[in-house]
Structure 1
C-alpha cells in the first residue's frame, strides 16, 4: 500500500472512523474517497486538506515520518517506483510548508524594515522572532556556526524538522566540511559588512533522518545586537517560489 494511503488508513483506524464517516465529516465525496483508498488511486491535495481540517490534524502528518510509517522507499523497489516516491514526497513536503506558512504576514521586506528601523538592535522583535534562527558569531577555527535559538516557524525548523537549537546544531554538524565553511563565510561577511546580506543559496544534503534535502531559497543574514551590546547573527530565509 502506498505511503499516503497507509497514513490515511492508520488515521481513520485511530479515530475509529469508517471511510463513509470520514468522508461525511470532512465534506468530501464518499465514492471517490472510498475508491481511492481501496484501489490506491491518487489522493489529491484538496482531499488531504479537507481531511486535515475535518479530522483536526496537522497537514504535516501526511508528509512526516512520525506516524510509525517508513518514509524511505524499499531499497528493493524498482527505479521507477523510487522516483515516483521521491516526487510524491517532495510535493507533500512543499504542501506542508505552504500550509504552515499560510496566514504568516512576515516577509523579507518586513525583516529588512525592522532591521534598519532599529539599526540592528534586538528591540521590537516579537513579531519576527518566530521566523528567524539566531546564531553566535561564527568560529572559523572550528568551521562551524553555532545556533542559540531556532525559530519554530523558520524555514530551517520546518524543512529540517527541528524544534530547538540543539537539533539544528546537530543537523548543521552533519553537513559537509565544504558546506559548513560556506556557512561560516556567509555569517562572517554579514558581520564584516555590518548590514543585512541577501543571497540565494542552493543546498543538497543528506539529513540525519536519512532523507536527501535539495532546495534553493532566499536568505538574509544580518548582524544584531543585544541590549548589552553582544553581537549575534540572525538568519531569515524563505522558499523561492517557481511558476
Structure 2
C-alpha cells in the first residue's frame, strides 16, 4: 500500500472495514495479512461522523437555519441583541453597561457574596448609594465553616436588607448579580435548599420597608459590591482604595 500511494502508512493507527458482501473467511485472511485491527464501521469519515452521510451541507443547513432564526426573532422573545466590545465599554449615556444610580429619593443597595476554600468561609459585601452616586453606607461580614456560593449570596442579600431597615430607608432598590436569590426575593418564594432559612429571614425583614424592589444586575454593574465581598476576609475597617476607585469610575461613567 505504501508503494502504491507513495505515503507511509502507520499500521498501529490503521483499521480495516469490510462490506457485508465480503465473505468472513476472506475478511479474516486479509486482516491477518495486513496485521491491523478490524472494526465494524468507520466512526469518522473525513473528520465527520459517518452517520452524517455524504452531503454534509444538506445535513447542517437545517441547524444553521435554526440558529439564524433564533438570532433574528428569538421565537417571540425579542431575539438576541448583538453588542460590540467597544460599545459595552462606553459610558452608560452612550449606550454602554454599568452601574446606574436610583431615582431621586430612592436608595440603591448592591450586594455580593464571596467564597474562600481554606479554611472554608463565605463573605458578603454591601454598599448603599443615593441618586447622586454617593456612598451612604457599606458593610462586610464573614461566616466561617461555609463554602456554598448560593448561601453567600443569600447572606449578602439579607445583610443588604438589614442595612436598609437599620437606617430607616423607606424606598430601596436591592440589586445583585445572583439571579436565583433575586428571583426568590422578587417573587416571595422560599426555596427548598440550603439558603431557605436565610431567604425566609430576608423576606421577613423586607416587609418592614414600605417600598422595596429587587433587581438583577450583571457583574459589570455590581463590581463595587463584589470588591467589598472579596476584601471582607481581610476584615477592613474602611473601604479599600481599590473600592474607592471603582466608586469613582461608576460616577465618571454615568
TM band (smaller chain): under 0.3
Query: Does 1 or 2 have the higher relative contact order (CA < 8 Å, sep 6+)?
Result: 2
TM-score, scaled relative to structure 1: 0.23
Question: Based on CA coordinates, which of the two structures has the bigger radius of gyration?
Answer: 2
TM-score, scaled relative to structure 2: 0.22
